Copies of this chain bind each other. A is one copy, B any other.
Amino acid sequence: MSAELLAQAGPATAVLSALRRSFDAAAAGLADVCSVGGRLDDRLLDDRQVAAFELAWASAELLAAETWVASLDAASADIDIRLALAFAVEAAASVLDRLAVVDDEAGTAAGDLYAIRDDARWIGLRRAAGSAAALEVAGRLVAASGGEVGGIALDEQHALAQAAFRRFAAEVVAPQAEAIHRRDLTVPEPLLRQMREMGVFGLSVPECHGGSAPDDRDDTTLTVVVTEALSEASLAAAGSLITRPEILTRALLAGGTEAQKADWLPRLAAGDPLCAIAITEPDYGSDVAALALRGTRVPGGWRLNGAKTWCTFAGKAGVLMVVTRTDPDRGLGHGGLSLLLVEKPSHDGHEFTCLQEGGGSLNGRAIPTIGYRGMHSFDLAFDDYFVPDANVIGGEAGLGKGFYYAMAGMVGGRMQTAARACGVMRAALRAAAGYGAVRKVFGRPLGDFQLTLAKLARMGARLGACRRLAYTVAGIVDEGDGRMAAAQVKLLACRSAEIVTREALQIHGGMGYAEESAVSRYFVDARVLSIFEGAEETLALKVIARGLLDRALPQAPCRADSGGTRDSGRDRRSVPSSPRRGLAP
């Protein structure tokens, strides 16, 4: 059976390769019309946002399909072959549409796209892997899979961690998740204690500093494993707890003095204090260069004045990493920012006030949200709040480098966010499959109907593609690469979580809309994913599209020479691996 299915991997690879060539040509064309004198021009980029957005999305979908299809071999399970090919069909159809937009905007010829669409291999693939009959079979496999999709093979250490954290998530976190969400509680101290004991907060801290990460390399796979497992039980009360220490740990590793590393890292690893990250300001969301919270030098340290917002876990945290403008010259943009470690008492509840002896104050107010409850996201107001010099990351030498230190954690943050999305999707998919098995409509189990099975298949294919990509990119990140791919998998997984939770809720019918059903929580929780850790639009335009177009630039001037462009275009991959083989390590 596998062999027969696997035979479609060839046509799928051919279709994806052709799409990759069209993608490269479209990217080169768009880079051409967005550049002046061989350099990208901000105004021209702004004039092509629609096309750039489509390009970014096409890159993420194509990469996910390539990565999964490239991993298929004779040893692959039926479910993975079926879902990978089903995803390839969906992704290819979407990429075709998106590239048509880019071609229209860039003025590049869309002939290749027409050729792909009319190609017998594409038509055959659609019928073999995307037909209702194929989805019906795939849906049954998904329903029986327990969410094990994507063909993830972990080594023993990671498999043990996965098993341990899944058990903890199911037995300890899940039973508390509904109450924390519905009563908007703060993550309870006993739960945090157990997570401290399991080493949750030290996953990114090297062993030599008291954590569990290897001293000589990163272990992004482990953070992805743990984050996914915990997010399946609760996005906010468990799955998101690791993101903040990871960002702060990486900032300290990137810029901290030896004394700061020795002082902070073991405590962060122990989860004592807990930490939070304050970047966003009320008037500046994703526009980091414009941040305005001001640090003024005073004897022995700095006084902070200004506001931050959406600072998640700021109440419970004992230390906040605050991106602070320490150079008043706003023309410096990123270059005037530093990272200050603001210490404060830990507070439960939704509001707090910290008064310092010298007259400084810090006020926090939790912003009520439709989901992602438990950690609470705070508005913060700093009024002459004093921070000693010792708490400037990197000390005097770290002044003005805050943006770069903060960025050190962004790749990990995006990987974790992709993993969080995968965890929520897994939970939603399993809930939908479970409900379909027990709910009867028109005299049969809901999960027996073709439409339900097709929904489950598509949900499973989407989850599988995101998981496969997330775990693959995690390995690449550990090799020091994968910055672009981390943004791509964040983009894809977060929107996918919206789609999968929507469908899971729909399968539940009215029950899905009731707060008593977990799937209603998955739905509102999932909605935050495309907003935070780089809003979808910012990520797509400023990180992914900009990066893709930058890479496409050198080739752009000879765009008219289409054959040459396309061939050499293949080398300008958006991922650091060989073209036809996807990302398989």
**Which B residues are CB-close (under 8 A) to A531?**
506, 509-510, 512-513
Partner of A454, one of B50, B118, B454: B50
Partner of A498, one of B97, B182, B502, B514: B502
Bitwise, A82-112 to B at CB < 8 A (1) or not (0) is 0000000000010001000100110000000
Partner of A524, one of B97, B135, B370: B370
| Cα-based distance from A131 to B103 in the complex (angstroms) | 11
| The 8 residue pairs across chains A and B that have the minimum distance between CB atoms | A50-B132, A49-B451, A49-B450, A368-B515, A50-B454, A310-B510, A285-B509, A367-B514
**Which B residues are CB-close (under 8 A) to A132?**
48-51, 101, 105
- A309 close to B (CB within 8 Å): yes
B520 & A505 in contact (Cβ 8 Å cutoff)? no
B523 & A527 in contact (Cβ 8 Å cutoff)? yes
Bitwise, A291-321 to B at CB < 8 A (1) or not (0) is 0000000000000000001100000000000
Partner of A280, one of B93, B370, B505, B510: B510
The residue of chain B having its C-beta at the shortest distance from the C-beta of A132 within the complex is: B50
Q: A369-B514, A513-B369, A524-B524 are in contact. Are A50 and B450 (CB under 8 A)?
A: yes
B53 & A442 in contact (Cβ 8 Å cutoff)? no
A450 & B48 in contact (Cβ 8 Å cutoff)? yes
Q: Which residues from 524 to 547 on chain A have a C-beta closer than 8 Å to any C-beta of chain B?
A: 524, 527-528, 530-532, 535-537, 541
Counting every copy of the chain, the complex holds 2
- Nearest CB of B to A63, in Å: 21
Partner of A449, one of B46, B127, B498, B520: B46
| Cα-based distance from A498 to B372 in the complex (angstroms) | 20
Query: Knowing that A93-B97, A283-B440, A369-B515 are A-B contacts, what are 15 other residue pairs whose CB atoms are under 8 Å apart, sorted by A's residue number?
Result: A46-B449, A49-B450, A49-B454, A51-B132, A105-B132, A309-B510, A310-B510, A368-B514, A368-B515, A370-B523, A371-B513, A502-B527, A505-B527, A506-B536, A524-B524
List 28 contacting pairs A-B, 8 Å CB cutoff, sorted by A: A49-B132, A49-B454, A50-B451, A50-B454, A51-B132, A101-B132, A104-B131, A105-B131, A105-B132, A114-B118, A182-B368, A280-B510, A285-B441, A285-B509, A287-B443, A368-B515, A369-B513, A369-B514, A369-B515, A370-B523, A370-B524, A502-B527, A505-B527, A506-B535, A510-B531, A510-B532, A513-B531, A523-B527
- A126 close to B (CB within 8 Å): yes
The residue of chain B having its C-beta at the shortest distance from the C-beta of A184 within the complex is: B515
Most buried by B among A132, A287, A310: A132
- A47 close to B (CB within 8 Å): yes
- Nearest CB of B to A221, in Å: 30
**Which B residues are CB-close (under 8 A) to A532?**
510
**Which B residues are CB-close (under 8 A) to A451?**
49-50, 53, 537, 541
Partner of A370, one of B93, B126, B513: B513
- A290 close to B (CB within 8 Å): yes
**Which B residues are CB-close (under 8 A) to A513?**
369-372, 527-528, 531
Residues of A within 8 A of B (CB): 46-51, 53, 93, 97, 101, 104-105, 114, 117-118, 126-127, 131-132, 135, 182, 280, 283-287, 290, 309-310, 367-372, 377, 440-443, 449-451, 454, 498, 502, 505-506, 509-510, 512-516, 520, 523-524, 527-528, 530-532, 535-537, 541
- Nearest CB of B to A142, in Å: 15
**Which B residues are CB-close (under 8 A) to A516?**
367-368
- Nearest CB of B to A418, in Å: 18
**Which B residues are CB-close (under 8 A) to A118?**
114
Partner of A47, one of B450, B515, B527: B450
- Nearest CB of B to A278, in Å: 13
Most buried by B among A117, A443, A509: A509
The residue of chain B having its C-beta at the shortest distance from the C-beta of A510 within the complex is: B310
A286 & B369 in contact (Cβ 8 Å cutoff)? no
Most buried by B among A47, A118, A442, A531: A442
| Cα-based distance from A450 to B48 in the complex (angstroms) | 7
The residue of chain B having its C-beta at the shortest distance from the C-beta of A515 within the complex is: B368
| Cα-based distance from A369 to B370 in the complex (angstroms) | 12
The residue of chain B having its C-beta at the shortest distance from the C-beta of A127 within the complex is: B104
The residue of chain B having its C-beta at the shortest distance from the C-beta of A135 within the complex is: B50
- Nearest CB of B to A447, in Å: 13
| Cα-based distance from A461 to B117 in the complex (angstroms) | 28
The residue of chain B having its C-beta at the shortest distance from the C-beta of A379 within the complex is: B514
**Which B residues are CB-close (under 8 A) to A286?**
441, 509
| Cα-based distance from A51 to B451 in the complex (angstroms) | 9
A530 & B510 in contact (Cβ 8 Å cutoff)? no
| Cα-based distance from A84 to B337 in the complex (angstroms) | 48
| Cα-based distance from A60 to B401 in the complex (angstroms) | 55
The residue of chain B having its C-beta at the shortest distance from the C-beta of A521 within the complex is: B370
